[in-house]
Structure formats: C-alpha cells, structure tokens
Amino acid sequence: MLIYELHMADPIDKLAAQYFQLVELPNLALPPGSVLIQPAVQAALYERMFNENVFPIPPDSYRSRVLKEILSRIEESITDPEEDEINDDLMECWSTLVSQPKPSALQQAQQLSLVKYTAPLSSGTPSPRTVTISESRGLILSGGTTGNRTWEAALHLGSFLVSEAGEALVRGKRVIELGAGTGFLSLLCARHLGVRSVVVTDREPVLIDNIRDCVRHNLQGKESIPIYPAIWDWGTPLEKSGDLAGLISEGGETGLTFDIALGADLIYDTDLVPLLVSTVRDLFENYHIKEFIIAATLRNEDTFRTFLVACETNSFTVETLPFESTPSEDQTGFFHSTSIPIRTYRITRRQ
C-alpha cells in the first residue's frame, strides 16, 4: 500500500490524460479497486477529473460512464463498511450526472466537445504539453468531410513531432499543413514546437472557422501563437489574403514560401491520389517547400500503392521515417489505436 501511495500520481496522470482525450472505457488505464478504495486516490480523482473547475469538462455522458465504472470498482472492493468509504464529492457528482437528461447515441456522436490531447512523456519537458481541440470524436463522415475528428495518423505524426528528431524538422520553420481537419498538428506546432509560422489549411470553411476558434484555447497566456488558418482546396492557388495577409513573405511567385509541409491521413481514396500528388508538386514548385512529411494509416494496400507509383512518376523520393507506433497499452499520450499500421514518410524531390 505504502509503495503504491509513493507512486500514486503515475496511474492517475495517465488516466486523467486519457479522460480529457475522451478515450473510451475499455481502453482506459483504470487502477484496480484495491487502489481506488484509498481515500487519497479518490480525492485526487475528484480534484483532477470530476471537479466542476477542471477544464475542459468532458461531456456528461462520457463522465457518467467513467464515474460509474470507478464507483462500481470501489464498491466491489469494500471489505469493511465501517472503514472503507466512497468519497462524498464523487458521490455528489454521480447524483448530479444521473439526474441529467440523456442524449441519444446519435446526438452523442455529433456532439462537438473540447478534447484535450496530452503529448507522450519525454525527457526534458517538465510540464505536460497539451493541445485543446473542438471536435466530434464519434463522427467519421459528416457534411461531406472526414475532418470533424482527429485521426490516428495525426496522433501518430504528433507523437513523432514531439520527439527530438521530429521537433528538429519543424523548429524555426515555415510550415504548411494540408487537409488539416481539426488542426491538431498545426496547433501542436504553433503552441509547443517553436515553428516560425504554420499555415493550417483545409477545403472546408467550417473546419477552418473551428480551428480559428480553437486558437484561443491554446494560447497559454500568450497574446498570439504563429498560426494562420486558410481555406485551401487542392488544385486551386493558395491566396495570400485573409489571415495569410499578415505573413511576411520572402519572394516567390505566389508571395507564399514554406520550408516544410505536413499531412496526416490524406491517402484514403484512390480517386484523390492524382490531385494530392499534383498539389505536393505545386508545393515544391510554387511554394518552395523542401520536404513533405505525411503520415498514412495503411487501410488499403492498393490505394497506398497508387500513391507510391504517382510519387515515382513525379520524380519524388519517398523514405519511410524510422518511427514506429508505441503499442496502445504502453502509450503515455496522444493515445490512439495501432490496430491498423500507421507509417510516416518523408517526400523530397529527386535532384
């Protein structure tokens, strides 16, 4: 017991990080009942997860599911009703949650929530690095876009970018992200990775409005972070107007110059491949990028082969970056499933 108390913060750290990312119950690192029964553990759970002062507060339906499981584990571990107790604050929170109206499964899936992603632990970063995003975790495809939630490939690429090798690729650089969806990677770059600037793009205006709105949750007391949201439909010119007008340019035909482009989960449909590859060529030729880093979930071999063949035809060199996914159970942040392999590639132009 004493030994556990000394290390008590560890499992709660991971559980709290998963909870604010709305990780589903079967994948939560919940301590066993023998640990949850301890008053100090219950008090910490309340303060860090269920107190109304925490930010952002997860949706009630999610909080209820998690708290129900915690309470049932505690109840099962009660051996001496005189001695063993359930924390009053947790019980009060439970009473409030059960009295709330229950949204339907569809309403829950569509609900826009603030999700806080915590980066994997790494040495040299004393406090956890977090990114807060507004998204519908349950939405796969809605309003003609798949960009309403943050995908596994983005969390994988984010895990790479917070590593020493990943950060070295973007620190001090002018970055552009395409097909950014919720903007997770760009917000990570702007908030924590010391980029000179990041232009975050998607073709869906509603997603760009959402990213613009999310910036304020990621300021960490600063007045601004170097992020520039812009609508960009591949195959059309990216205009230096709106939020991009403030970017300082260093020549180039379009007036927009970048060092590196990022993309996650953009190779999911064979029909999209020619447009994506011609957009990458456009980025090299007209926007002066030197490299494109793309993370792909390898759902369909044919789609991916089509992409590799198109890269070959366009004289690109594709290297696989030596960054393997951490198995889900060992992840310490940016939690995601690894049941379908995810790879990260560096694309450059053959000289």
Ligand X SMILES: C[S@@+](CC[C@H](N)C(=O)[O-])C[C@H]1O[C@@H](n2cnc3c(N)ncnc32)[C@H](O)[C@@H]1O
Tell the smallest beta-carbon distance from residue 268 to ligand X (Å): 6
Please identify, using beta-carbon distances, which residue of 38 and 201 lies nearer to ligand X. Answer: 201
Site mask for ligand X (CB under 6 A), range 129-168, x = bound: ----------------xxx--xx-xx--------------
Q: How far apart are CA 239 and CA 243, in angstroms?
A: 10
Rounded to the nearest 10°, the torsion over CA 246, 189, 22, 89 is: -90
Tell the smallest beta-carbon distance from residue 181 to ligand X (Å): 3
Strand partners, 319: 346
Joined tokens for residue 296 = 């792909």
Q: Which one of residues 158, 202, 289, 332 is an interface residue with ligand X (CB under 6 A)?
A: 202
Site mask for ligand X (CB under 6 A), range 270-289, x = bound: --x--x--------------
Q: Which one of residues 41, 115, 131, 180 is an interface residue with ligand X (CB under 6 A)?
A: 180
Site for ligand X in 229-248 (CB under 6 A): 232-234
Tell the smallest beta-carbon distance from residue 21 to ligand X (Å): 14
Non-local CB neighbours of 239 within 8 Å, separated by 6+ positions? 230
Tell the smallest beta-carbon distance from residue 183 to ligand X (Å): 8
Site for ligand X in 39-98 (CB under 6 A): none
Tell the smallest beta-carbon distance from residue 278 to ligand X (Å): 11
- Cα 315 to the chain's mean position, in Å? 32
In degrees and rounded to multiples of 5, residue 251 shows phi and psi of 80, -165
113, containing H or E segment: strand 113-118
Yes or no: say if 346 and 321 are a contact pair by the CB < 8 Å rule. yes
Site stretch for ligand X (CB under 6 A), options 16-24, 216-224, 268-276, 309-317: 268-276
Tell the smallest beta-carbon distance from residue 266 to ligand X (Å): 6
Tell the smallest beta-carbon distance from residue 286 to ligand X (Å): 16
Please identify, using beta-carbon distances, which residue of 130 and 150 lies nearer to ligand X. Answer: 150
Yes or no: say if 188 and 131 are a contact pair by the CB < 8 Å rule. yes
Tell the smallest beta-carbon distance from residue 251 to ligand X (Å): 26
Q: How many CB atoms lie within 10 A of CB 317?
A: 14
> Should residue 189 be labelled a site residue for ligand X when binding is judged by CB under 6 A?
no
Please identify, using beta-carbon distances, which residue of 20 and 234 lies nearer to ligand X. Answer: 234
In degrees and rounded to multiples of 5, residue 91 shows phi and psi of -65, -40
3-state secondary structure of 44: helix
In degrees and rounded to multiples of 5, residue 153 shows phi and psi of -65, -35
Joined tokens for residue 162 = 């917070």
Question: Cα–Cα–Cα angle for 70, 72, 77, nearest 5°?
Answer: 100
Site stretch for ligand X (CB under 6 A), options 104-112, 201-209, 286-294, 339-347: 201-209
Q: Which one of residues 130, 190, 204, 259 is an interface residue with ligand X (CB under 6 A)?
A: 204
Non-local CB neighbours of 141 within 8 Å, separated by 6+ positions? none
Please identify, using beta-carbon distances, which residue of 77 and 278 lies nearer to ligand X. Answer: 278
Tell the smallest beta-carbon distance from residue 117 to ligand X (Å): 11
The residue of the chain with the least Cβ separation from ligand X equals 147
3-state secondary structure of 64: helix
Between strands 197-202 and 113-118, the pairing is unpaired
Chain positions contacting ligand X, by CB under 6 A: 145-147, 150-151, 153-154, 179-182, 184, 202-204, 207, 232-234, 264-266, 268, 272, 275
